[in-house]
Amino acid sequence: MLDKLTAFWSSHSETLINLGYKGMLAIAIVIASMVIAKTIRRSIYNANERLQKLDATLIPILSTAAGYAVYAIGGVFILDIFGVNTASLIALVGAAGLAIGLALKDTLSNIAAGIMLLILRPFRTGDFIEVGSTTGTVREINLFTTILETIDGLYIASPNSVLWGSSIKNFTRNGKRRMDIVVGIAYSDSIDEGLGVLKRVAAEEMRLLQEPAPQVMVASMAESAVNIQLRAWAGNDDYWQTYWDLNKRVKESIEAAGLSIPFPQRSLHVIAGSNLITEKADL
């Protein structure tokens, strides 16, 4: 038995040494790939904790993709060490990837759009947005869809490619919103007095921002009234309640100041001695 092993070693020693060397090198590459992949993943998490540049949803995806990329590169090196034609293999994988990409182009477009949304962040979880005819609060952003909750409590799952290909109106991003309170006064009323009422209402409302400062103006000369306007800003958290309260207070303050708020009226004039009835709108 010993003689057979000695003869086998004598005839195949060079091959065995070469295989052993390549095996040790392959093991070293595997260990190095594991260390490098782990280091890269940890670095991505640490960098985002310091810089806060990327959405938290994207970090696991990026770290996982980076780890697989390192393992793929290490696998190519190992195959090359053992004499495998990696150029042909890469070409084959590329062709297979192209075929899969064509078959799943809609799904991949949603993934690509999801990654772009997570990187560029036109909106975040909790933002109130409008996309096309859909308006709602963002509840979740993932690779395939964005989940919205409308103001009446509906659940909407919108494909990321739809959002990425549309104009996005973000009501939350700037932290404040402008409200326009318009009220009509009669042509016989004093415009300056009406504007003064709006100024007093704005000055008494503590939830309005002082920068930008509230403005009052004549909005338009309508058919039945002179429309005056209060334009003011409020924080997102106070916007709707302030808007509703101001509408009520403006109406009450205009009437308390003795100004009238015209509304369309229609008068019928009957001409005596005839069947003719004329109709006139008093606007």
pLDDT tens track for 174-219: 999 999 999 999 999 999 999 999 999 999 999 999 999 999 999 9
Highest mean pLDDT pick, 46-50, 243-247, 259-263: 243-247
Q: In what order do the strands lie in the sheet with 176-185?
A: 176-185, 226-235, 215-221
Residue 282 within any structural domain of the chain? no
Residue where a domain terminates, one of 132, 154, 170: 170
Query: Mean pLDDT across the stretch 150-169?
Result: 90
pLDDT over 80 (residue 150) = yes
Query: Mean pLDDT across the stretch 54-73?
Result: 74
More confident residue, 280 or 205: 205
Report the alpha-carbon distance of residue 11 to residue 14 in Å, rounded.
8
Whole-number pLDDT of residue 119? 79
**Number of domains the chain contains:** 3
CATH code, domain with 10: 1.10.287.1260
Whole-number pLDDT of residue 80? 78
Q: To the nearest whole percent, how much of the chain has pLDDT over 70?
A: 76
Q: Same domain, yes or no, for 76 and 58?
A: yes
Q: Same domain, yes or no, for 73 and 139?
A: no
Residue where a domain terminates, one of 114, 136, 170: 170
Is-contact 225 187, C-beta < 8 A? Answer: yes
Residue 192 within any structural domain of the chain? yes
Q: How confident is the model at residue 9 (pLDDT cuts 50, 70, 90)?
A: low
More confident residue, 60 or 193: 193
Q: Same domain, yes or no, for 41 and 10?
A: yes
Is-contact 147 139, C-beta < 8 A? Answer: yes
pLDDT over 90 (residue 250) = yes
More confident residue, 280 or 122: 122
Residue 114 within any structural domain of the chain? no
Residue 268 within any structural domain of the chain? no
Structural domain boundaries, residue 218: 176-256
Highest mean pLDDT pick, 91-100, 139-148, 217-226, 264-273: 217-226
Residue 108 within any structural domain of the chain? no
Query: Mean pLDDT across the stretch 9-31?
Result: 76
pLDDT over 90 (residue 278) = no
Instruction: Say how many Å lie between the first and final Cα of the chain, rounded.
Output: 118
Residue 57 within any structural domain of the chain? yes
More confident residue, 154 or 142: 154
Rounded to two decimals, the pTM is 0.62
More confident residue, 19 or 3: 19
Q: 177: Cβ–Cβ under 8 A, 6 or more apart, which residues?
A: 171, 233, 234, 236, 239
Whole-number pLDDT of residue 115? 80
From 245, 239, 222, select the one nearest 172 (Cα to Cα). Answer: 239
Q: How confident is the model at residue 26 (pLDDT cuts 50, 70, 90)?
A: confident
Q: Same domain, yes or no, for 149 and 183?
A: no
Q: How confident is the model at residue 283 (pLDDT cuts 50, 70, 90)?
A: very low
